[in-house]
A and B are shown apart, each in its own frame.
Chain A
Amino acid sequence: GAVVSQHPSWVICKSGTSVKIECRSLDFQATTMFWYRQFPKQSLMLMATSNEGSKATYEQGVEKDKFLINHASLTLSTLTVTSAHPEDSSFYICSARDSSGRGGRTDTQYFGPGTRLTVL
């Protein structure tokens, strides 16, 4: 149980293009999903909290117009990197919070396999 998928697993694109990454919770509903970015040899940095049916909450320093987040259903959140540039190349990972109370807790996050973005 508690499986989260991400698609695509990797993408290479030209500078200036937009890239959409999907995050799905496969066997549970997630009212809250999180988007992280991880640069080589660094830890995960939270970019934004995606809330089903409402606007995402962005962390300080993250441009909301550049990283568009949509959480249209209880099992799907998307991150669109608009006008990508080489400095946006990174490992993007989503997580989904299982609020069902599985295991007696409602705050456990389960991570997707990540999307490796390379912008040329």
Chain B
Amino acid sequence: RKEVEQDPGPFNVPEGATVAFNCTYSNSASQSFFWYRQDCRKEPKLLMSVYSSGNEDGRFTAQLNRASQYISLLIRDSKLSDSATYLCAVNSGTYKYIFGTGTRLKVLA
């Protein structure tokens, strides 16, 4: 089993839709979690960090479920500009991140 797993997608959704991605992790000692957005041929950009139960920033909400060992990212009212790959990163306590393979999102007009 991979340490961090994501559904690669792509998720094709119409503008205005709500979409959610999950990311599962295998190390129960993992302490902090991050969602990054990566556009094609660009570096990852921090979207949200999750340390306790969850975090919300505008249209984006991240939730952490320690019992089931997953984090989720919810995007409401999808915009065309939300089209990107969303990477989940897990910090297991040594400041090193383990990244998932990313989930591709395409928001369609």
Contacts and interface: CB of A to CB of B under 8 A. Distances in A.
B92 to A, nearest CB: 11
Given A43-B87, A105-B51, A107-B32, A112 B43 contact: yes
Interface in A72-117: 91, 93, 95, 97, 105, 107-114, 116
Contacts of A116: 41
B61 interface: no
Contact of B96 (A34, A93, A105, A111): A34
A42 B43 contact: no
B95 A111 contact: no
Chain A interface extent, by class? 20 to 34
A108 B91 CA distance: 9
Given A43-B87, A91-B41, A108 B46 contact: yes
A95 B32 CA distance: 17
A17 B54 CA distance: 48
Given A105-B49, A105-B51, A111-B43, A34 B101 contact: no
A114 B42 CA distance: 7
B45 A49 contact: no
Interface of A: 32, 34, 42-46, 49, 91, 93, 95, 97, 105, 107-114, 116
Given A45-B99, A49-B95, A111-B44, 9 more contacts: A32-B95, A42-B101, A43-B99, A46-B97, A105-B51, A107-B32, A109-B34, A114-B42, A116-B41
